[in-house]
A and B are shown apart, each in its own frame.
Chain A
């Protein structure tokens, strides 16, 4: 019975994802293939890319840290992004939107987040301490420090500029250009290809550092590689959509509950599907129910929270 249930649950999420994607493309579109549907299609692609980034980075981050309540947000990537956007507004005002253009802002944000993570990893991993908790603690402290700078700047800008900043601090699919989608897709596909081969290693790493080494994993090498891949995914998704904060916690835990399997081979695809479903649900609601008077970011947390609570009750906490 449980087996049948889990098989149904596993396929349900894919059926739901496809059905929602089609609904999103065609609902009230008037079958306008010249403008509405291509626009929606590019947003759908953005949601798929974002979903893969968030699910993948959160699930593997939790494996590496051996902790189910963390997301890579704790490392301060998103804080760096927001500080950068605030600095742009402070220095150039709302003109920065036109001076820099969406594409260069996107690329610059990615480069900035990657160099931030590169220096943090380099500093901490080559320190010889090689302690994941120390890495997390440093990430958390940096997040707080950087966010304080951002707040400081936010008090200095005008209300109009502040509302532009607020737009950056919420996840949204409103503005995604073709160039950004291409770059993101290329990065995500590269990460998936690199990471896919080490799923069995990741399964072993979830037993903990000592078991992993004892079973012949080159622990340092594998952990560093995956932290680097996570940094790329977070940089891409944050530049593309904006910060998603703790959506990854929901996605990862729901993936474990639905997949009912500890293997990354099973959990990761389920997680990606869940994240895409959540994004489409939220975006549908924004477009058709709330008429753009709320944001995807707010709805995502609402949908995730409710769904997660239902899952907890139904599985009686064995998630």
Chain B
């Protein structure tokens, strides 16, 4: 379980994360939602140790993460940012193999190859394993990066807007893969997501941020409510709940907002 206590991040006079305290329950899928500039990504990057907090503590199973060596942390927490460009010409399986680096430091064992195959299989990327990353679609590339993160075999996965720029089919594929990681493998998944409907239908837990602070946090039923979301986004919401899940409608704001 990851918990955050009195966390601050400031750039000069600008505070992007302000006095944030939050719990991210183990073996659950937690979505970080909120408007742009709410500090969601900053919070996630601090948990990933990609960004240094100005002040405050982050705990993994009760231990401060700053006392864990980087090489050990990579066996506990894996991070996926929006797929960046790099100069290497890699195939999908070569990329996934990088996920084994924390264990094998570059020399792959048969166990590593088994885990790599499993990760590729888990996301049904078998037909793409020898394709070059720059020759496949954006959605497939995002899946390949996710496979690398899965091959890292960490208890916790952090994902920064994994659905960015994806079509609805790939978005559903990624979200159901994350759901299965929690349900079948008991992993903890924390992601920043902008699509409220995905957050509402696939998460167990939601942390909603606004202006650098946690506004609401709790189970999906407690956060995906008309007044909470209206307050968060300053938009008019209509939330329909059915057997298939939630449908948050905010596309045509009708009526006045208080």
Binding site for B on A (CB under 8 A): 62, 66-68, 199-201, 203-204, 206-211, 213-219, 262, 318
Interface size class of B (residues with CB under 8 A): 20 to 34
Across the interface, name the chain B residue whose C-beta is closest to A262.
B88
A210 nearest CB across to chain B (Å): 5
Rounded to whole angstroms, the CA-CA distance of A216 and B48 in the bound complex is 11
A66 touches B86 (CB 8 A): yes
* Docked complex: B73-123 residues within 8 A CB-CB of A: 73-75, 78-81, 84, 86-90, 94, 98-99, 101-102, 105-107
One of B73, B81, B86 near A216 (C-beta < 8 A): B73
Rounded to whole angstroms, the CA-CA distance of A208 and B88 in the bound complex is 10
**Known contacts A210-B81, A213-B50; is-contact A262 B71 (Cβ 8 Å):** no
B89 touches A318 (CB 8 A): yes
Across the interface, name the chain B residue whose C-beta is closest to A220.
B70
- Residues on B with beta carbons closer than 8 Å to the beta carbon of A215: 74, 98-99, 101-102, 152
**Known contacts A203-B106, A204-B101, A262-B94; is-contact A216 B49 (Cβ 8 Å):** no
Rounded to whole angstroms, the CA-CA distance of A207 and B149 in the bound complex is 13
B84 touches A214 (CB 8 A): no
Rounded to whole angstroms, the CA-CA distance of A62 and B102 in the bound complex is 23
Chain A CB within 10 Å — which of B48, B86, B106 has the most?
A: B106
Across the interface, name the chain B residue whose C-beta is closest to A264.
B106
A206 touches B88 (CB 8 A): yes
29 A-B contacts (beta carbon < 8 Å): A62-B87, A66-B87, A67-B87, A68-B87, A200-B107, A204-B101, A206-B87, A207-B88, A210-B79, A210-B81, A211-B81, A211-B98, A213-B49, A213-B50, A213-B70, A213-B79, A214-B50, A215-B74, A215-B101, A215-B102, A215-B152, A216-B70, A216-B74, A216-B102, A217-B71, A218-B70, A218-B71, A219-B70, A262-B94
- Residues on A with beta carbons closer than 8 Å to the beta carbon of B79: 210, 213-214
